[in-house]
């Protein structure tokens, strides 16, 4: 009994002192409002809340408002009846129709199923603040935006705001395996505890759903694209149903990855030929079974005929025939097939940069309307920087979706702070010149220039069982930024960063200024110390951790030497008409400009050109000197990031500070490792001295080559 009393007193002390911030609450940490004028404006709203209806989503909204009220004011909110004094009105347009004028009716109606309006409403001489959508889901998004405006101190009860998503499907792709390992996962194990489902429901699932709903993410693919057919079994569908039921009130649909060979592995068939009647029957029955348990099941995400995954090519069929077979099974239920464009021949016959276009361009217009082709942002594989994928603009009659990678497979994994939104923004704002002269990648994937209604932005998840969800605290910023850009692909990265900083670290101007500087410079720094001037695919084999520009042997396009092609004459991959002609897959305006090494943006120079070591860049320096300066600049930027961070000691939570400070120290070491290893290796071809201005690379090249990391996290398992 005495020990129990001591423990109670200890935890009471902890509560009174406040817990350190371990990152679990993400951007939903409703801290006390210190701005007195804001508090005076907001507090009455929480003292008189009225819901105009009842449904499971409103129940969740009520719980969220309770969390916020306790956080903001340390008190329970008050929920009123309509005839009582109510200040905050929450409901759908139809529920509030008698209180809305025609202008408001029309304005809100135009926002669609997921949009929301919030602002002041006057009724019978009394002023109310209303959050209204056309559906409860829209109301939910409006409430989260309302709470976010309070957290960021931008709330104004006198102004109206309306918003709606520009992209229909805003999805996280989990590369989670059924044994809870995560391919390219750097934040612990999978949060899906399949072994204990359906009987045990981890509360973490709810917090995961809250976080996604707060960003407007409305779809989740639960399992690895390197799919395991077992997830389609009846016992696993029962487990998936539990998650679908939990996520539904948050507006989140569940998708699964479908292994193309499932008819053989599960149905005891001798073939998975998409035109075989028995195969089509298998998929129809399997789909019907899923929808019986999960009426709003989203559909299938499929990786086929890529990296050894089974697909229609084994049977002499094409991607359209494979995708359409599944689409026909899903269509009666309004389900969707998301078919990945990350394909390349198991036999190397073309530059991988060209492979997706070679396979999908001839099929344009042959896919059913409920098929989306999910295209990576670049044609190789989530490299630190890639030119936009040439399929954007080359395909006009088929639904195209974007696939970004939130988990940092090639960008330092969970040891490095790299804010990815500037990279994504660079891709989204890239002009494609097709189908119209002013088309951008963003305008294609949101349908505004492609005239498509079925639109998608997917992000490969960086979420795991680590207490802070993402391994690195700043990995949360990438999850956050993805959600914001999926809602609106035209947003500005610096504004997204500022909002995340406000929600995570508060309003201190010095904190905001320094962290914003760190975030905005971090991607360019990583590109510089990893793969400057268009270099790519220089990482170690398999684990993709650290530099490996010397990797060779085995399949050529899984090596580094295949891509950088360094020799005594120069470096870079010739993708012009004198090489692989991958440039020919872009619009003529791009191909013409980029085919000239003096006109192409220098950030893509070595992606498309094999250039002599003494080639003069715009700086009038030689290519060799510029490579050295870029690598060295990346290291110096990493050091500056840590100096900026260390200046914040005492201004932010101690646990947050220590966590990031330690990881930034590792990042500096890894940046130096990248610089030293790459420059020492490339010097064996250039045979030139390092530029005078740089810190000379240290270390022994053979030592760097000898390093092995067989137990690095996130390695693809062998089935």
Q: Specify whether 384 is located in the same domain as 481.
A: yes
For the stretch 287-318, pLDDT in tens is 999 999 999 999 999 999 999 999 999 999 99
Q: Is the Cα dihedral 471, 458, 487, 353 positive or negative?
A: positive
Task: Give me the CATH number covering residue 662.
Answer: 3.90.1330.10
Could you tell me if 483 and 534 lie in one domain?
no
Q: Which of 64, 176, 381, 670 is catalytic?
A: 381
Q: 89 with 211, same domain?
A: no
pLDDT of residue 350: 83
Residue 14's pLDDT is what? 36
411 and 264, same structural domain? yes
The pLDDT value recorded for residue 16 is 35
Structural domain span for residue 201:
169-492
Greatest CA separation for the chain: 84
pLDDT at 12: 37
When divided into structural domains, the chain yields a total of 3
pLDDT digits (tens, 9 = 90+) for 491-526: 999 999 999 999 999 999 999 999 999 999 999 999
Kindly state whether residues 389 and 538 are assigned to the same domain. no
Average per-residue pLDDT for the chain: 95
Cα distance between residue 316 and residue 273, in whole Å:
9
pLDDT digits (tens, 9 = 90+) for 452-499: 999 999 999 999 999 999 999 999 999 999 999 999 999 999 999 999
Same structural domain, 117 and 220? no
Residue 397 has pLDDT above 90, yes or no: yes
Phi, psi of 555, deg, nearest 5: -60, 125
Q: Are residues 234 and 122 located together in one domain of the fold?
A: no
pLDDT digits (tens, 9 = 90+) for 86-117: 899 999 999 999 999 888 999 999 999 999 99
- Nearest of 257, 169, 215, 164 to residue 454 by alpha carbon: 169
Q: Among this protein's residues, is 307 annotated catalytic? A: yes
* DSSP code string of 492-516: -HHHHHHHHHHHHH-S-HHHHHHHH
pLDDT at position 2: 43
Residue 124, domain member (yes or no): yes
Residues 345-374 have a mean pLDDT of 92
Q: CATH number for the domain including 206?
A: 3.20.20.80
For residue 2, tell me if it sits in a domain.
Answer: no
**Within a domain: residue 13?**
no
Domain match, 114 and 233 both = no
Average pLDDT on 150-165 reads 97
Does 716 reside within a domain? Answer: no
Q: What is the mean pLDDT of residues 269-277?
A: 98
141 and 188 share one domain: no
Tens of pLDDT along 19-53? 569 999 999 999 999 999 999 999 999 999 999 99
The pLDDT value given to residue 84: 79
Q: Are residues 173 and 159 in the same domain?
A: no
Identified catalytic residue from 409, 524, 626, 672: 409
For 432, residues 6+ apart whose C-beta sits below 8 A from its C-beta are 388, 392, 393, 439, 440, 441, 444, 586, 587, 590
Q: Which of 307, 314, 488, 646 is the catalytic position?
A: 307
Annotation says 386 is catalytic: no
Amino acid 718: pLDDT: 53
* pTM, full prediction: 0.96
Under the banding of pLDDT at 50, 70 and 90, the label for residue 5 is very low
Domain boundary among 128, 163, 198: 163
Query: Looking at residue 91, which CATH number applies to its domain?
Result: 3.30.379.10
Same domain assignment for residues 94 and 194: no
Residue 697: inside a domain: yes
pLDDT score of 8 more than 60:
no
146 and 186 together in one domain: no
- Report residue 535 as tokens: 């270099």
Let me know if residue 12 belongs to a domain: no
Last residue of a domain, one of 492, 516, 535: 492
DSSP code of residue 593: H
């Amino acid at each position: 009994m005495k020990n129990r009393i001591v423990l109670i007193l200890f935890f009471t002390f902890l509560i009174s002192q406040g817990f350190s911030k371990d990152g679990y609450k993400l951007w939903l940490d409703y801290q006390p409002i210190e701005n007195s004028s804001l508090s005076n404006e907001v507090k009455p709203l929480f003292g008189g809340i009225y819901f105009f209806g009842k449904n499971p989503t409103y129940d969740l909204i009520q719980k969220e408002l309770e969390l916020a009220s306790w956080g903001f004011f340390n008190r329970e909110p008050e929920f009123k009846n309509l005839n009582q004094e109510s200040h905050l009105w929450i409901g759908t347009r139809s529920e509030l129709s008698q209180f809305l004028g025609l202008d408001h009716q029309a304005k809100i109606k135009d926002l669609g199923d997921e949009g929301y309006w919030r602002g002041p409403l006057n009724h019978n001489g009394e002023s109310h603040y209303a959050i209204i959508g056309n559906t409860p889901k829209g109301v939910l998004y409006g409430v989260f935006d309302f709470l976010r405006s309070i957290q960021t101190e931008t709330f104004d009860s006198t102004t109206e705001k309306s918003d709606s998503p520009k992209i229909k499907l805003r999805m996280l792709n989990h590369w989670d395996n059924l044994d809870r390992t995560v391919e390219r996962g750097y934040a612990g194990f999978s949060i899906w505890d399949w072994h204990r489902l359906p009987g045990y429901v981890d509360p973490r699932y709810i917090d995961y759903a809250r976080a996604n709903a707060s960003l407007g993410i409305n779809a989740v693919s639960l399992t690895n694209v390197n799919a395991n057919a077992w997830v389609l079994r009846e016992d696993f569908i029962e487990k998936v149903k539990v998650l679908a039921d939990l996520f539904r009130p948050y507006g989140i649909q569940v998708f699964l990855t479908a292994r193309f060979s499932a008819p053989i592995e599960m149905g005891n068939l001798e073939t998975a030929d998409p035109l075989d009647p028995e195969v089509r029957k298998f998929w129809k029955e399997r789909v019907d079974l899923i929808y019986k348990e999960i009426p709003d099941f989203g559909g299938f995400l499929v990786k086929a005929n890529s990296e050894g995954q089974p697909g229609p090519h084994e049977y002499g069929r094409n991607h359209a025939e494979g995708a359409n077979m599944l689409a026909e099974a899903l269509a009666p239920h309004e389900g969707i097939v998301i078919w990945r464009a990350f394909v390349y021949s198991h036999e190397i016959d073309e530059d991988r940069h060209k492979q997706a276009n070679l396979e999908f361009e001839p099929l344009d217009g042959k896919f059913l309307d409920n098929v989306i082709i999910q295209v990576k942002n670049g044609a190789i594989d989530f490299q630190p920087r890639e030119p936009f994928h040439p399929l954007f603009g080359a395909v006009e009659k088929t639904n195209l979706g974007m696939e970004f990678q939130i988990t940092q497979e090639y960008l330092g994994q969970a040891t490095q702070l790299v804010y990815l939104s500037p990279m994504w923004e660079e891709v989204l704002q890239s002009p494609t010149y097709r189908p119209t002269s002013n088309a951008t990648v963003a305008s294609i994937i949101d349908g505004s220039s492609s005239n498509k209604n079925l639109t998608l932005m997917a992000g490969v998840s960086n979420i795991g069982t680590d207490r802070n969800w993402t391994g690195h605290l700043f990995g949360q910023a990438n999850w956050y930024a993805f959600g914001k850009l999926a809602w609106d692909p035209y947003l500005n990265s610096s504004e997204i960063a500022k909002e995340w900083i406000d929600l995570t670290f508060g309003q201190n101007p010095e904190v905001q200024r320094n962290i914003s500087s760190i975030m905005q410079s971090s991607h360019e720094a990583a590109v510089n110390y990893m793969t400057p001037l268009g270099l790519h695919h220089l990482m170690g084999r398999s684990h993709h951790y650290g530099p490996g520009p010397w990797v060779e042997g085995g399949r050529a396009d899984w090596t580094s030497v295949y891509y950088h092609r360094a020799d005594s004459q120069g470096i870079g991959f010739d993708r012009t008409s004198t090489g692989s002609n991958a440039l020919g897959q872009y619009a003529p305006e791009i191909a013409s400009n980029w085919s000239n090494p003096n006109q192409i943006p220098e950030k893509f120079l070595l992606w498309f050109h094999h250039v002599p070591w003494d080639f003069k860049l715009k700086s009038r320096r030689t290519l060799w000197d510029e490579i050295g300066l870029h690598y060295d600049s990346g290291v110096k930027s990493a050091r500056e990031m840590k100096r900026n961070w260390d200046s914040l000691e005492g201004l932010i939570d101690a646990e947050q500070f220590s966590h990031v400070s330690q990881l930034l120290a590792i990042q500096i070491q890894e940046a130096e490792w990248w610089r030293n290893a790459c420059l020492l290796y490339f010097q064996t071809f250039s045979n030139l001295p390092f530029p005078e201005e740089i810190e000379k690379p240290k270390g022994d090249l053979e030592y760097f080559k000898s390093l092995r990391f067989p137990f690095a996290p996130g390695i693809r398992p062998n089935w």
